[in-house]
Chains A and B, each alone.
Chain A
Amino acid sequence: MTLRFRKAFLLTRKELKESFRSREVILVITLMPLMFAVLMPLTIPLVSRTIPSESFDDSDFENFPPLVPFWDELDSKAQFLVFYSMLFFGTFLLLPMILPMVIATDSIAGERERKTIESLIASPLSTGEIVLGKLMTTMIPSVLVTWFSGIVFMVITDLFLYNDVGRLIFPNLMSMVLLFGLSPFFSLITTQTMIIVSTRATGMREAQQLGSLVVLPLYSFVLGEAAILILLSPYWTLVSSAVLLICTIILHVINLKVFDREYMIAAIRG
C-alpha cells in the first residue's frame, strides 16, 4: 500500500496545532531550550571570574586531544574553559531527546487518554500514515527548536569565552555535525522509542515515566557518539551514524507492528 505523505502531513498539521495549545508542551518547549541554550553558557563568565589563572598549571591539559584547531595556542585556563563549554555542549544534546519525550507522549498516549484515537483509526488513514504523521509531529518542533537553541548556545558561549580564549570556538565542524547532522537522529531515535512506549502505556503519566527510563540509556549512546566525533575520526563517526540509522529503521518497523489498531482502542473498548 502506498504511503500518502500528504495525508500524514494533514495529521501532523492538526497535531501541531493541538500540541501548541497544551500548557505542558509549551512550557517544556520554551523552558528547556532556555535552560540549555542560555542558562548553561551563563555560568562561563562566572567560572572564569571565580577561578584565577594562577590556579592552572601548563601541564593540566597537556595530554588532552585538541578540542579546537587552535588548542595548542591556548593557555591552560582557556583550555579549561573550552573543555567546560564542550561539556555543556554534550549536555545540550539532551535537548533533542527531552523534547520528543513530551511531544510524543502528548500526541499518542494523550490521544488515547482523551479518547480521540478511535475517530482517527476509523478514518481512511493507514497505520503507516498515522505513525508517519505522529513521527513528524514530534520531529518537526524538536529538530527546529534544537537547531535554534544550538545557534543561541553557540553565540552566547562564544560571546562569554572571547575574553579568555581570544577566538570564536563555535561554529566548528564537530558542532555542525552534531547539531545539524546527528541531533535529528537523536530526536528520531527518541521519538521512535517514545512512540513504542506511548502505544503500550495506559496514559500520559505512565508513558512519561517509562520514557524517562528509556531515554537515559539512550543518552549514554548519544554521548558515546559525540565522544567518537570529538576523540576519534570522521570515519568512526560515519560508522557509528550508520549504526544509529539501522537502529532507527529497526525501531520504525517495531513501531508499525506495535501500533496495533485494536490495542490502541482496547482501553476504550465497549
Chain B
Amino acid sequence: MIEAENLTKFYGEFLAVDHISFNIKEGEIFGFLGPNGAGKTTTIRMLAAIFPPSEGTATINGNDVVNNSIEVRKQVGILSENPGLYERLSARANLDFFARLYDVPKDQIDIRIDFLGDLFDLRTRLDERVGTYSKGMKQKLAIARALIHDPPVLFLDEPTSALSPEAAKSIRDLLVDLAKDRSRTICICTHNLFDAERLCDRVAIIRNGKILTVGTPGEISSKFSGPPTIRISFTKLDTNITQLLNDIEGVFSVEQHPVKKEVFIKVENHEINTPKIVKEIVANNGEILEIEPIHASLEEAYLKLIMEDSLNDTKI
C-alpha cells in the first residue's frame, strides 16, 4: 500500500529526513515515534504529496508521490499538526467545501457530513461557526474532514492530542475499526507512547531523520528494554535480602525500593529464574506478599533507543 525507498528531505542545507525506507501494508496502523524535529511530520508530508522528496521515491497504492501527486492526494486523508479549520465558517461549510474538493458525489455530501457529525458527536453543532468550538471539538472536526472522502489511506499527526480521555479512546476505537474492519491504512505520528502501544501494528522510531528501528511494539519493547524484571513485595523486608538475591545465579541486579517493602530484580530469564528466587527467599524465612513480572514497555525501549542514539551523537 505505502512504499518508501531512500526517502530524503533537505530544507536548505538541513537534512530533515535521511534516506529512510519502509513499507506499510493495507489495513495496517503504522506509527512514527520520535522526539520533536525527528522528521515525522516531514515524512508524512512527503508521503501525502504535499511537497516532493529531495531524493528517493514513495508510492501510495502504486501512485508515485511526485509524478502522480494529485491522484495520491485524492487517496489520502490528512490531519496536520494544526487542525487548520476555517474558523469563520460553520463546521458543515468546512466539511462541505472539502467534500466537493475531493469529488464526493453531490447526493452523498450531506449524508456523509451527518454521518461524521454523529460519529464525532458534533451533529447538533455542525451549523455553528468553528471559531466557537473547543480545542477538542476542533480536533474531532479536523479528523472528520480527513475522513470526508472515505480515503483508503489516512495520515494523522497527533490524532489524540487536545482530546479528553474519553474522546481520545473513541478516536482510538474508531481508528482500529477503520483499519481492521474497513481495511484502511493508517499512518500516525505521535509522541504518545500509550497510543502507539495500543493502536499500532508496527512502529518506526525516528531520530534526526533516521529510522532507528521498525517492528511491532512488543518486538521493540522486548528487544530494547533490557532484561526481564520481577517485582517482589514483602510483608517485612530484611536488609540482607539484596545481598542474598544478588548471589542467585541468573540475577543481574537487585534494586530495593527506598520506601515500600519491595525489590526489583533484573534476571536473565523470567521463567527459569523466578522459581529459584522464590525458593531461596522462603528458605531464608522471607515473607513474600506479592510477585509480579514487569513487562517490557515501549516507553522504556523508546527512551533507551533515543538515549543511545544521542550518546552516539556526543561521541561523534
The bracket for how many chain A residues form the interface is 20 to 34
Tell me which residues across on chain B come within 8 A of A270, comparing CB atoms: 40-42, 81, 157
Which residue of B is nearest A6, CB measured? B100
Contact of B87 with A by CB under 8 A: yes
Tell me which residues across on chain A come within 8 A of B48, comparing CB atoms: 122
User: Could you tell me the distance between the alpha carbons of A150 and B71 in the complex, rounded to whole angstroms?
Assistant: 45
User: Could you tell me the distance between the alpha carbons of A269 and B145 in the complex, rounded to whole angstroms?
Assistant: 21
Whether A124 and B11, one on each chain, are in contact in the complex, defined by CB atoms closer than 8 angstroms, is: no
A137 → chain B closest CB, angstroms: 13
Which residue of B is nearest A126, CB measured? B70
The bracket for how many chain B residues form the interface is 20 to 34
How many CB-defined contacts (below 8 Å) exist between A and B?
Answer: 76
Whether A14 and B86, one on each chain, are in contact in the complex, defined by CB atoms closer than 8 angstroms, is: yes
Q: Name the contact of B80 in the complex, choosing from A18, A119, A261 (C-beta under 8 A).
A: A119
Which of B76, B82, B103, B145 gathers the greatest number of chain A CB atoms within 10 Å? B82
Tell me which residues across on chain A come within 8 A of B237, comparing CB atoms: none
1/0 contact trace for A111-144 toward B, CB 8 Å? 0001111110111111000000000000000000
Whether B73 and A122, one on each chain, are in contact in the complex, defined by CB atoms closer than 8 angstroms, is: yes
Whether B76 and A122, one on each chain, are in contact in the complex, defined by CB atoms closer than 8 angstroms, is: yes
1/0 contact trace for A247-270 toward B, CB 8 Å? 000000000000001100110111
Whether A265 and B87, one on each chain, are in contact in the complex, defined by CB atoms closer than 8 angstroms, is: no
Contact of B214 with A by CB under 8 A: no
Chain B positions 95-141 with a Cβ under 8 Å from a chain A Cβ: 97-98, 100-103
Q: Name the contact of A10 in the complex, choosing from B82, B85, B89, B100 (C-beta under 8 A).
A: B100
9 A-B Cβ contacts within 8 A? A10-B101, A11-B101, A18-B86, A22-B88, A119-B84, A122-B80, A123-B102, A124-B103, A261-B51
Besides A7-B101, A126-B70, 12 more A-B contacts (Cβ < 8 Å) are: A10-B97, A11-B101, A14-B89, A14-B97, A18-B89, A119-B78, A119-B80, A119-B85, A123-B101, A123-B102, A124-B74, A125-B101
